[in-house]
Amino acid sequence: MRLALRLVKVLFLSVVVFLLHFQIVGPVVKKLPATISYYSQYKTPEHQAVAHTMRQLIVWINDNTYYRLDVVPMFYFSSTDPRLRGNESLHVSYEAKHSYILLRRDVDYTLEEHQRFLVHELVHRAQFVEGKTYDCHGQLEAEAYRIENRFVESGGSNAYTTPVSTIELLEQCIGVTYGNR
Report if residue 149 sits inside a domain: yes
Report if residue 10 sits inside a domain: no
pLDDT band at 155 (very low <50, low <70, confident <90, very high): confident
Predicted local distance difference test score (pLDDT) of residue 74: 87
Report if residue 91 sits inside a domain: yes
Report if residue 25 sits inside a domain: no
Describe the crossing of helices 164-171 and 137-154 by its angle, rounded to 10 degrees.
160
pTM to 2 decimals? 0.70
Total domains, the chain: 1
Report if residue 71 sits inside a domain: yes
Name 27's bridge partners: none
The one-letter code for the residue type at 55 is R
Predicted local distance difference test score (pLDDT) of residue 1: 66
Per-residue model confidence as pLDDT tens digits over 118-150: 999 999 999 999 988 888 888 888 999 999 999
Per-residue model confidence as pLDDT tens digits over 57-77: 999 999 999 999 988 888 888
Report if residue 109 sits inside a domain: yes
Range of the domain at 70: 31-171
CA distance 13 to 25: 14
CA distance 39 to 42: 6
Per-residue model confidence as pLDDT tens digits over 72-128: 888 888 777 666 665 566 677 888 777 888 888 888 888 888 898 899 999 999 999
Cα angle vertex 64, ends 59, 67, to 5°? 75
Q: Is the dihedral of CA 79, 38, 63, 138 positive or negative?
A: positive
Mean pLDDT of the chain: 74
Report if residue 166 sits inside a domain: yes
CA distance 164 to 40: 39
Residue 127 near residue 94, CB atoms below 8 Å = no
Identify which has the larger pLDDT, 72 or 159: 72
CA distance 19 to 40: 17
Report if residue 11 sits inside a domain: no
